Amino acid sequence: MTTAELYQRDREWHPPALTQDYKTSVARSPRFALLSLQNSDSELTGPTFGHSDFAPLDNDLIRNYAQSGDPIGERIIVHGRVLDENGRPVPNTLVEVWQANAGGRYRHKKDSYLAPIDPNFGGCGRTLTDDQGNYVFRTVKPGAYPWRNWVNNWRPAHIHVSVFGTAFAQRLITQMYFEGDPLIAKCPIVKSIPDQRAIDQLVAALDLNATTPLDSIAYKFDIVLRGHRSTFFENRPEGN
């Protein structure tokens, strides 16, 4: 049996484990070098999900936790494609998002920021990409919030995004930022990424063509996962 390997992950493009200005990384970053593994089936296979795993409102954060009405905030559509480094769409893959509410508060027992919980907003959603790799969520724009790093750090508005692909070694969690936010350039978590082009790639563009007129504004955010090589490796028993 043959399986296509993945392109090597570009470790100069991703944030390193240790980034002094993001203080929590100091004690949570390995000191030894990562051991580089050539891919085997353990890395090249991965879980799959089906439509039976989801409910119709799972990708609608305006409705999926609403109790008495819509959540407060700027109504937005977030849409885009999941692609691989070869530019091919990644169909039927799980995309999960989570975010603060419009005031910058998370529905989490560990978040104690003074901005109020919104009774109509849960703050998470999930969906499968379609056969062209497209996904869409409806939500409210998250607020900026303060966090303990330096005394006066504020996260830019962001949505956390988790994506699978087809191989466990493609697994990725990142964050989506919003075009025009002046906090992006000041954030130590954003600046853990060493390459400005990689940062720009995480900033969703305002997409007026995708708005719902008189209802919701739209942002487009494409996500790129590692690509597969066109050559294959052998994992037959020796002598076959």
Candidates 59, 65, 102, 133; binder of another protein (CB under 8 A) is 65
Position 13 contacts another protein (CB under 8 A): yes
Closest distance to another protein from the beta carbon of 214 (Å): 28
Half-sphere exposure of 56 (CA within 13 A, CB side): 0
Chain center to CA of 121: 19
Q: Which is nearer to another protein, 27 or 208 (CB)?
A: 27
From the candidates 22, 65, 135, 145, which is the catalytic residue? 145
Return phi, psi of residue 77, to 5°.
-110, 130
Active site residue 160: yes
Residues 134-163 that bind another protein (CB under 8 A): 160, 162
**Tokens 């563009």 found at:** 205
Which residue, 176, 174, 177, 166, is CA-closest to 226? 166
The C-alpha atoms of residue 96 and residue 174 are separated, in whole angstroms, by 11
79 is catalytic: no
71-79, 133-141, 185-193, 208-216 -> range binding another protein (CB under 8 A): 185-193
Query: For this structure, is 28 an active site residue?
Result: no
Q: Given the residues 106, 135, 177, 219, select the one marked as catalytic.
A: 106
Q: Is residue 117 within 8 Å of 105, Cβ to Cβ?
A: yes
Q: Which of 199, 205, 206, 217 binds another protein (CB under 8 A)?
A: 199
Q: Which of 4, 14, 146, 205 binds another protein (CB under 8 A)?
A: 14
How many residues bind another protein, per CB under 8 A?
93
Separation between Cα atoms, residue 81 and residue 132, nearest integer Å = 8
Q: Is 108 designated active site?
A: no
158 is annotated as an active-site residue: yes
Select the span of 70-78, 136-144, 165-173, 210-218 touching another protein (CB under 8 A).
Answer: 165-173
Residue type present at position 46: G
Shortest Cβ 55–another protein spacing (Å): 5
Which residues, 6+ apart, have CB-to-CB distance to 238 below 8 Å? Answer: none
Selected catalytic residue, list 9, 14, 107, 160: 160
By the rule CB under 8 A, 132 interacts with another protein: no
What element of type H or E holds 175?
strand 172-178
- DSSP per-residue codes, 79-136: EEEEEETTS-B-TT-EEEEE---TTS--SSTT---SSPPPTT---EEEEE--TTSEEE
Residues within window 71-110 making contact with another protein, judged by CB under 8 A: 83-87, 94, 96-98, 106-110
**By CB under 8 A, residue 47 contacts another protein:** yes
Q: Which stretch binds another protein (CB under 8 A): 68-76, 133-141, 209-217, 220-228?
A: 220-228
Bridge partner list, 234 = 2
Catalytic residues: 106, 145, 155, 158, 160
